[in-house]
Structure 1
Amino acid sequence: MNEDQEQLRKWRLILGGDEADGTGYNLTQKDIQIDKALTVLYDFERKRQFNYGDSKKQGGSEGSNPGVARWLGDIRNFFPNTVVQVMQNDALKQPELQRKLMLEPEILEQTTPDVHLVATLMELGKLIPEKTKDTARRVVEKVVEELMAKLEQKTIAALTGALNRSSRNRRPRHNEIDWNTTIRKNLKHYQPEYKTIIPEVRIGYGRKSRRSLKDIVLCLDQSGSMGTSVVYSGIFGAVMASLPNVKTQMVVFDTQVADLTEDLKDPVDLLFGVQLGGGTDINLALQYCQQIIRQPDDTILVLITDLYEGGNLAEMRKRAVALVESGVQVICLLALNDDGSPSFDAQNAQFFAKHEIPVFACTPDMFPDLMAAAIQKKDLFQWAGDNGLVLKG
C-alpha cells in the first residue's frame, strides 16, 4: 500500500463511510472490523444503541452484554494501549454506554472511584453480573473508607457536643457527671491548701441507658436523581448509628418502602441494599415513619427528596403537617451532595416551609452542623439563611 492509499484509508476510517466522505476507498475485512469498533463509539449520537458483533441480546435483565465484551476485545486487538485507554474513557462519557461498560470488571478497575460512580453501581443493582460483583464491592468500599475518613470525626464531634449541651442537668448522678465541664465551671472554687476543686456546681449528661436522648430517622428518596445524596446519607447514617444516646433509623423509598436500619453497622452493605430508580411515593414513606416514631418530641426526621410526589399528594401533605403537630422535628433536604442546586417541586417546598418544615439543599460538609443545630432545637430557617442555604425556586 503506497502513501496515498494509506492516507485515503485513514481518512475513510476517520470519516466513517457516509456517502459524503468522498474517499471512495474500499476497506479490507480487518479494516471493516476496525471501522465497526470506531463507529459504535464515535457515531453513537446517531446510533443510540450499542449494537456490536452479531449479538442479538438487547435489554432484558441479563447482567453482562456480550457485544460490550467483544468490543473491548477488538479495540485491544486493533489499537495500542494508549489509544485503548482514550477510547474507554470516551465510552464512559456516554451515559448509555457507561452502564454497560460498568458491568465489565476490567473497565471498573480502571475508573476513578467517587460518589458518582457508586451511585451508578447502585442504579445497576441486580444487573451487575457475578464476575463484576467483587470488583464493584471493592470500589464501593474504597469510596466509603475515604468518605468516612473525611466526615466521621467532624460528625461525631458536632453531634456529641450538641447532645451534651442539650442534655445537661444540674443534679446528675455520679455516673452521669460531665467531669470536664464540671471542672471548668468550678475552677473559681479551687482550694490551694487542699490542691483540689470543690465542685459546688455539677454538670451532667442526663440518663444514658434506658432511653435515647434523640431519635433520628433518615428517610431517603431512592429515585435515580438522588443517587449521590443516598451515598452520603448512608455514610452519615452509619456514623450516627455508632453514637451513644442516639437511635438512628434508615428508611429508603421509591414506590415501596424498605427499612435498612439493620445495615447501618456496615455502610457498604447498606449501599448495596439500595436500589436506585423507579417512582416516588413520599406519602407511603411518611406513613411508615409515623409508625416507627416512638418519642415525637425527641425525634428528628430528615426527609431527603426533591419533593416530586408520585403518590397521593394531598395525603402526603397532611402526613407532613401531622408529624410536625405531633412534635417531630421535620427537615426536608432537597439534596445532600456537592452537585449544586437540584431540581425540585417548588409548590411542595413552599407548602412545607409554610408549615414549619425547613426546606433546602445541604452539602456534606454542612450536614454535621445542621444535625447539631437540630439537636439543640435552634431555628433552622435562620440557621439555613446564616449559612447561605436559603431556598430558591
Structure 2
Amino acid sequence: MLGGDGGADGTGCALAGSDVGVDRTLEALYGAGPAGGERREAGLGQSAPRVARWLGDIRTYFPASVVQVMQRDAIDRLGLSALLLEPEMLEAVEADVHLVGTLLSLNKAMPETTKETARAVVRKVVRDLEARLSDRTRATLNGALDRSARVSRPRHHDIDWDRTIRANLKNYLPEHRTVVPERLIGYGRAARSVRKEVILCIDQSGSMAASVVYASVFGAVLASMRSLDTRLVVFDTAVVDLTDQLADPVDVLFGTQLGGGTDINRALAYCQSRITRPTETVVVLISDLYEGGIRDGMLKRVAAMKTAGVRFVTLLALSDEGAPAYDRDHAAALAALGAPAFACTPDLFPDVMAAALERRPLPIPEP
C-alpha cells in the first residue's frame, strides 16, 4: 500500500490528506496488516453498505479505467458477485463489458427487484458500445458490399460512367477530346439485388462473456443494414436462435445463458440448415473451440460449408483482451480446412467482415 499508520506500513512515511483515503481503498481490496495480523479495515467483507461506500470511494480517487479493474478484482478475489443482485449495489458500480458479463451469468438467480436496475446498467454499456462501433461498421461494410457488387463487364445500361471515366483518364485522347475506356465498371442488376447473408454463431460458455456482449451489439448493427440478412445464434449444449430479438441487443443479452457445456457441432448443424444461398453467405463462429460434442462432425460441417461456397470465419474471441485459452488442436484442424482461427478486437471486426463479404484475404492480426 502507500504507507500509513502503524509504523507507516514499513515505509517510514506517514500519509496525510486524500492519500489516506486512497490507501484505505487499496488496502480494503489488496492489502493485509502485519504478518499474522488482520486487515486494518477488515477488508470489504460481505456488507452491502460497506461495499457501496468503497465503490463510491474508488470512483472518487481513480479514473474509470482503474475503477473497472478494481471492481473486477473485487468480484474475483472477494466473491462479491452475490452483492450485485442488490439494486443499490448496481447503482454504485462503474458499468463496463466485464460487469455486463457478470450480470448475465447471474441472470437466472437475479430477484425481480434487481432485474430492471440490471437492464439499465446493461443498456448503458450497450448504448456506449453502439456509439463507438456502429458508424464505422456501417461505413466499412457498405463500402465492401458496394465493391462486391461491382462488375467489370457490365451491360451498356449498367455502366457506372463516373467510375469508368475516372479509371480510364490515362487513355484520354486530346485531339478527339474523348476517353477510350479499356475497362468498364458497373453494377450488374443481379448483383445489386442479391442480399448477403451473415450468421453469427456465438459460444455462450462462461469464458466467452465479453465476446457475447460485443457480438450482440455487432449483430444489432448488422441487422439494421438493409443490404444484409443477419442471423444470430447462441449455443452451449443447446442452440438458441435470437434473430427475432436483434432490434434490441439488451434483449439478446438477456436471452443468453452464460456457462454450461459446449456443442459446436450441434450449433453448426443448425446454422448449416439455415443457409439457402451458400455463395452469398458468411458464417462467423465465435468460440474458444473447446468442443464437447462430436469433433469430426464439427470439422465435416465446416468443410461442407466451405465446399458449397460459404465464407467461414473463426474468431477465438471478440474482445479487447486478445486471444483467450483455446483448443489448439481444433484451431489447427480448422486452419487446415482454410478457416484459420484468431482473436479479434472490436475495432478490427468491421475490417474482418468487409474482407469476408468481398471474399478477399482476412486481416489476421500478428500473434
What TM-score bracket applies, with the shorter chain setting the length? 0.7 to 0.9
The TM-score with structure 2 as length reference comes to 0.76
Contact kept? 1:167, 1:206, Cα under 8 Å: no
User: Where do 5+ consecutive residues of structure 1 fail to align?
Assistant: 1-13, 23-34, 43-49, 51-70, 191-196
Task: Determine if the alignment matches structure 1 residue 329 to structure 2 residue 311.
Answer: yes
- C-alpha displacement of 1:40: 8.2
Contact kept? 1:215, 1:300, Cα under 8 Å: yes
Specify the alignment match of 1:72 in structure 2.
48
CA RMSD of aligned residues (A): 3.6
Specify the alignment match of 2:338 in structure 1.
356
Change in 2 beyond 3 A, CA 1:264/1:183: farther
Aligned residue type for 2:186: I
SS of aligned partner of 2:186: coil
CA distance in 2, matches of 1:350, 1:332: 11
Specify the alignment match of 2:186 in structure 1.
203
Change in 2 beyond 3 A, CA 1:287/1:183: same
Worse overlay, 304-313 or 219-228: 304-313
Aligned residues: 319
CA distance in 2, matches of 1:295, 1:374: 15
Aligned residue type for 2:154: R
SS of aligned partner of 2:225: coil
Taking the TM superposition and a 5 Å limit, the aligned residue runs for 1:1-393 are: 41=44, 71-72=47-48, 75=50, 85=57, 93-95=74-76, 97-169=79-151, 171=154, 181=163, 184=166, 203-204=186-187, 206-207=189-190, 211-212=194-195, 214-380=196-362, 383-384=363-364, 387-388=365-366, 390=367
- C-alpha displacement of 1:173: 9.3
- C-alpha displacement of 1:280: 0.4
- C-alpha displacement of 1:286: 0.7
SS of aligned partner of 2:154: coil
CA distance in 2, matches of 1:172, 1:273: 48
CA distance in 2, matches of 1:378, 1:221: 26
Contact kept? 2:235, 2:263, Cα under 8 Å: yes
Change in 2 beyond 3 A, CA 1:335/1:82: closer
Change in 2 beyond 3 A, CA 1:83/1:336: closer
Contact kept? 2:262, 2:290, Cα under 8 Å: yes
Change in 2 beyond 3 A, CA 1:353/1:72: same
User: Where do 5+ consecutive residues of structure 2 fail to align?
Assistant: 1-27, 59-66, 173-178
The TM-score with structure 1 as length reference comes to 0.71
Change in 2 beyond 3 A, CA 1:340/1:305: same
- C-alpha displacement of 1:147: 0.7
Larger Rg over CA atoms = 1
